[in-house]
């Protein structure tokens, strides 16, 4: 069984040409101190493709940089898609490289979810289908820049999402009692301190600024949930499904917050 490390789904900035620092646009806000266009290098980017204020991103007003996670797409585009040719040495590749990044990120995000689905015993009835989709998705990531840019990512995502929904239902069915269904719900600023959210469907829920301190989110489906500035001190996320590092980075936790073993406790907690 392919795991996330084997699939290269963890960001490795040392093997990336700082694509997120150049290929993505910033808008001056609470997340970014400046605005910049796609293709314009961040003024904090050094010649060695490293960030000049990496240890001070939050104090300097670049909170958004500490939240972003490319799921390993940056190094895949840099080292595989473009064969280790960087956009400075080969400027003719720059526009295509920056355009491919968001496509690759979406594919790697799908690989993240599919790899997790294969680790969930309750989802065994769909494991063969999940494995097939994982192989197909990985094959797509190895296509040429032209093929990647022509790919209908939305259609492929829909195919994957259908299987992920079935995975979620199988896993959450193991929770006794009535499970809360708050898919896509507006829970901005909601007071959910200590709530029993085991097996809840929180797919795509807006939990911006919500208080989930001490809440039990084991086996809750958090795919696509917006956890920006969500308070999770003491919350149990240890067995939440489809939780990503970027979601964790966006939330506010503490040393008592329980996370899945595959995720890292953010330094700013």
Could you tell me if residue 242 is inside a domain? yes
188 lies in a domain? yes
pLDDT in tens, 117-165: 999 999 999 999 999 999 999 999 999 999 999 999 999 999 999 999 9
- Any domain includes 114: no
Residue 76 lies in a domain: no
**Is it the case that residue 225 has pLDDT exceeding 90?**
yes
Residue 234 lies in a domain: yes
Best CA proximity match to 121, nearest among 167, 162, 161, 160: 167
Tokens 């990503």 identify what position? 244
Q: Please check the confidence at residue 1 and state whether its pLDDT lies above 70.
A: no
Average pLDDT, the chain: 96
Q: Which domain holds residue 189?
A: 178-269
Angle, helix 94-117 to helix 127-141, in steps of 10 degrees: 170
Q: How many residues are given for the chain? A: 269
pLDDT, position 4 = 81
Is the pTM for the entire model greater than 0.75?
Answer: yes
* CATH code: domain of residue 192: 2.160.20.80
Please report whether residue 134 resides in a domain: no
pLDDT score for 176:
87
Tell me how many domains the chain contains: 1
Are 232 and 211 a contacting pair, CB within 8 Å? Answer: no
Is residue 199 one of the residues assigned to a domain?
yes
């Amino acid at each position: 069984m392919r795991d996330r490390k084997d699939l290269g789904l963890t960001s490795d900035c040392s093997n990336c040409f700082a694509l997120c620092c150049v290929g993505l646009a910033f808008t001056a806000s609470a997340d970014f101190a400046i605005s910049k266009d796609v293709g314009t290098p961040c003024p904090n980017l050094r010649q060695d493709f490293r960030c000049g204020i990496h240890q001070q991103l939050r104090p300097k007003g670049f909170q958004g940089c500490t939240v972003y996670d490319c799921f390993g797409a940056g190094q895949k585009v840099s080292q595989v898609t473009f064969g280790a040719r960087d956009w400075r040495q080969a400027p003719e590749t720059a526009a295509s490289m920056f355009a491919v990044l968001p496509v690759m990120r979406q594919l790697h995000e799908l690989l993240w979810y599919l790899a997790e689905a294969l680790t969930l015993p309750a989802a065994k009835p769909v494991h063969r289908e999940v494995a097939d989709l994982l192989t197909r998705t990985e094959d797509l990531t190895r296509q040429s820049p032209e093929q990647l840019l022509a790919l209908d990512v939305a259609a492929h995502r829909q195919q994957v999402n259908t299987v992920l929904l079935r995975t979620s239902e199988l896993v959450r069915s193991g929770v006794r009692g009535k499970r809360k269904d708050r898919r896509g719900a507006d829970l901005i600023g909601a007071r959910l301190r200590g709530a029993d959210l085991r097996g809840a469907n929180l797919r795509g829920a807006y939990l911006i600024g919500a208080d989930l301190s001490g809440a039990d989110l084991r086996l809750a489906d958090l795919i696509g949930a917006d956890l920006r500035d969500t308070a999770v001190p003491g919350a149990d996320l240890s067995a939440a499904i489809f939780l990503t590092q970027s979601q964790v980075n966006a939330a506010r936790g503490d040393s008592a917050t329980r996370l899945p073993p595959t995720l890292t406790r953010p330094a700013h907690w």
